[in-house]
Amino acid sequence: MKIIVLIVGLAIIGFIGWWFFGKHTTEEVAADVQDQQQEIDIEVNGGYSPETVVLKQGVPAILNFTRKDASSCLDRVVFSDFGINQELPRNQKEAITIDTTTPGEYQWACGMDMFHGKLIIK
């Protein structure tokens, strides 16, 4: 009996570790640059994929958000540094234009500031 408790305990600890630390190894994805414009598709489903987007400074950028998630939590996306608060209708591609003149790291978030993504302009 004790061994089962031990195994279950270890499994839970392993799961918690994976949940907290596994998610932080996020992929950085660069937008596709073409004809003085860059574009990237971002899927919204229980978070953002990709979660970290790299944009080239000085090239006009379009982020195409498609929300697949049914929850109202993710039905808005907010780029506070850019004054953007955009509704994301479900299963519809929403293009968001980002001004890339100033390099730096910027956060974006869902309407309630629970889910986050990162924009790196360099």
Identify which of residues 60 and 111 has a Cβ nearer to Cu ion in the complex: 111
Closest CB 5 distance from Cu ion, rounded Å: 36
Identify which of residues 55 and 63 has a Cβ nearer to Cu ion in the complex: 63
Closest CB 88 distance from Cu ion, rounded Å: 11
Closest CB 72 distance from Cu ion, rounded Å: 8
Identify which of residues 70 and 112 has a Cβ nearer to Cu ion in the complex: 112
Closest CB 30 distance from Cu ion, rounded Å: 26
Identify which of residues 8 and 73 has a Cβ nearer to Cu ion in the complex: 73
Could you write out the three-class secondary structure of the chain?
CHHHHHHHHHHHHHHHHHHHHHHHCCCEEECEEECCEEEEEEEECCCEECCEEEECCCCCEEEEEEECCCCHHHCEEEEHHHCEEEECCECCEEEEEECCCCCEEEEEEECCCCCEEEEEEC
For the chain, the residue count is 122
> Which chain residues interact with Cu ion by CB under 5 A?
73, 110, 112, 114
